[in-house]
Structure 1
Amino acid sequence: MIVGLGTDIIENERIGEVYHRHGRRFLDRIFTEDEIEYAESHEDPVPYLAARFAVKEAAVKALNIGGATGIGWKDVEVAGKIFGKKKLLFHGRAQALALERGVNRMHVSLTHNRGLSMAVVILEQA
């Protein structure tokens, strides 16, 4: 049974502007070390950062929480290598909320193309 569905779309340029202005400080606040390493392994890390940012937003929407969530940016993580299936990981408050809702399967799809990044997150109870 589907417990939650979330989507998000973002202009890569928005993430690029913040990335170029604040650099490592921005990265360390929003992304896990593995997400940073993955993005920076590409010639242009911005689309990869933007797609992961969209996943974080989509995951919070999928958890169906209104108002303040207490979920930190790093509580939602995208794992997976180039061209492989991506895996959604929850930590901290996001993990606690997912357990409360009985989530035991998570699906994530992300894409970036022509200046936009998009993510879809589906949370299920088996």
Structure 2
Amino acid sequence: MIFGIGTDVCDLRRIAATLERRGDRFAEKVLGPTELKVFQHRRAKVEARGLAYLGTRFSAKEAFSKAIGVGLHMPMTWRACEILNRPSGQPYLQLHGELAEWFDARQLRAQVTLSDESDYAVSFVVVETDTP
């Protein structure tokens, strides 16, 4: 049974402008510890790859917050929700702390997909439950 669905489109030019204005503090606010390492690694190789990574994660977290129906309010925080990749490249959600406890208590599971193209990133999240 579907608990919630969320989608988000992110303009990567806005992300770039925010990074320029606020520096790495923006990435450090949005990304969890594992994501931050990946972002720094990709950005060091090619700036655009780092930007796309940050934009897709920003978008996916927005979509996830919509799917669970709480927006960006507790227990949902930027850093408590990480979007990581399996070795195959498939994205998945890794939740931490109060958000993980909240999610598990409701016996929820989530699927996430994301993509980027030139100036935009898009994500889609489906949260499911076995209980009505």
| TM interval, short-chain normalised | 0.7 to 0.9
**Deviation by residue 1:7-48 (Cα, 9 ceiling, x = unmatched):** 111100111111122222112111112212222333021111
Of 59, 64, 82, 1:59 maps to 64
Specify the alignment match of 1:31 in structure 2. Answer: 31
CA contact (8 A) 1:12 1:46 kept: yes
| Percent of matched pairs sharing the same residue | 28
The structural deviation recorded for 1:67 is 8.0
TM-score by length of 2: 0.83
Could you list the runs of 5+ residues in structure 1 that have no partner in the other structure? none
Q: Which piece of structure 1 moves more, 65-74 or 19-28? A: 65-74
Counterparts of 1:1-126 in structure 2, within 5 Å, are 1-42=1-42, 43=46, 44=48, 45-65=50-70, 68-80=73-85, 84-103=89-108, 105-126=109-130
SS in structure 1 at match of 2:37 = helix
CA contact (8 A) 1:15 1:50 kept: yes
CA contact (8 A) 2:2 2:129 kept: yes
The structural deviation recorded for 1:106 is 1.5
**Root-mean-square deviation over aligned CA pairs:** 2.0
TM-score by length of 1: 0.86
Aligned residues: 125
Partners in 2 of 1:49 and 1:81 — Cα distance? 17
The structural deviation recorded for 1:70 is 4.1
**Deviation by residue 1:42-89 (Cα, 9 ceiling, x = unmatched):** 302111100000011111101012684442111110111686111111
